[in-house]
């Protein structure tokens, strides 16, 4: 299980600056979600990835990146590894290809369920051993067939209709869109967590859009309904909630 944060802004900004004073509360969640941290920044034709098998809350490298690395769009992930999936750089999120970044919270069952549905061309990009990377490569297969937005939605709807999962909460970012998925089964959350563990909330104003997992201060943020996708067009900051 993991914690997710994504943003798109009207101008380049750092994570710490755009998130504001409560960012330290989000970072504290990495004390439990401690198996790695990863950041994907997207400005232009190539996603920039930095990730470490470290606890973000005690990582000097994370502190420096969060305060100094600037972009108008990014994804941040704190990993708590699913049982049986190795903790290493290859299995750490985000995953990326060209100008696309992806992060996921949850698990598919079995972990390799999507393997037969991934094209040979896309499967050749695989580096790790986890279900989340296969989720991304399955979505990438659909994206290459249909384009970014329709491909992501088709991938999510296909998983929802035919596969077992605790959560496929996820975020997809490219140079044009931020797409956030709220799709989960609350009764399959970790036993020690609060009922709102899988909830996703967002803040949208003239400065841009910030979206994140629960567990820290999100006063005044809007709750994404379960079984929905939030689509934000980066150029205009127009947003739409779509039923899945």
> Which pLDDT does position 65 carry in this prediction?
96
Q: How many whole angstroms from its chain centre is CA 48?
A: 15
Q: Quick check: is 7 in a domain? A: yes
> Which pLDDT does position 58 carry in this prediction?
98
CB 78 within 8 A of CB 101: no
Q: Quick check: is 160 in a domain? A: no
> Which pLDDT does position 186 carry in this prediction?
79
Q: Quick check: is 35 in a domain? A: yes
How many domains is the chain partitioned into structurally? 1
Whether residue 12 is preceded by a cis peptide bond, meaning omega within 30 degrees of 0, is: no
Q: Quick check: is 144 in a domain? A: no
> Which pLDDT does position 44 carry in this prediction?
83
Q: Quick check: is 197 in a domain? A: yes
List, for residues 9-27, the tens digit of each pLDDT value: 999 999 999 999 999 999 9
The low-confidence residues of the chain, meaning pLDDT below 70, are 191-192
> Which pLDDT does position 194 carry in this prediction?
80
Which CATH number is 46's domain given? Answer: 3.60.20.10
DSSP E strand boundaries for 53-155: 70-79, 95-97, 100-105, 108-109
Q: Quick check: is 125 in a domain? A: no
- Using a cut of 0.75, tell me whether the model's pTM lies above it: yes
Enclosing domain of residue 52 = 2-105+168-243
CB 35 within 8 A of CB 81: yes
> Which pLDDT does position 105 carry in this prediction?
97
Q: Quick check: is 127 in a domain? A: no
162/120 Cα distance (integer angstroms)? 21
12/92 Cα distance (integer angstroms)? 25
């Amino acid at each position: 299980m993991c914690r997710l944060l994504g943003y798109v802004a009207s101008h380049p900004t750092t994570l710490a600056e755009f998130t504001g004073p409560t960012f330290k509360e989000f970072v504290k969640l990495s004390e439990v979600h401690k198996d790695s941290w990863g950041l994907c920044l997207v400005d232009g034709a190539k996603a920039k990835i930095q990730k470490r098998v470290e606890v973000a809350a005690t990582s000097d490298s994370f502190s420096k990146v969060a305060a100094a690395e600037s972009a108008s769009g990014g994804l941040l992930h704190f990993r708590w590894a699913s049982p049986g999936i190795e903790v290493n750089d290859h299995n750490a999120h985000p995953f990326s290809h060209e100008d696309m970044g992806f992060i996921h919270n949850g698990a598919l069952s079995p972990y390799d369920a999507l393997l037969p549905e991934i094209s040979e061309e896309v499967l050749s990009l695989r580096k790790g051993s986890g279900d989340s990377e296969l989720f991304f490569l399955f979505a990438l297969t659909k994206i290459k067939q249909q384009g970014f937005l329709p491909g992501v939605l088709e991938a999510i709807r296909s998983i929802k209709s035919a596969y077992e999962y605790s959560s496929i909460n996820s975020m997809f970012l490219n140079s044009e869109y931020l797409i956030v998925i709220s799709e989960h089964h609350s009764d399959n959350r970790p036993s020690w967590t609060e009922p709102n563990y899988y909830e996703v909330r967002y803040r949208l104003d003239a400065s841009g859009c910030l979206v994140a997992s629960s567990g820290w201060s999100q006063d005044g943020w809007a709750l994404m309904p379960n079984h929905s996708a939030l689509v934000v067009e980066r150029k205009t900051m127009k947003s739409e909630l779509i039923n899945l």
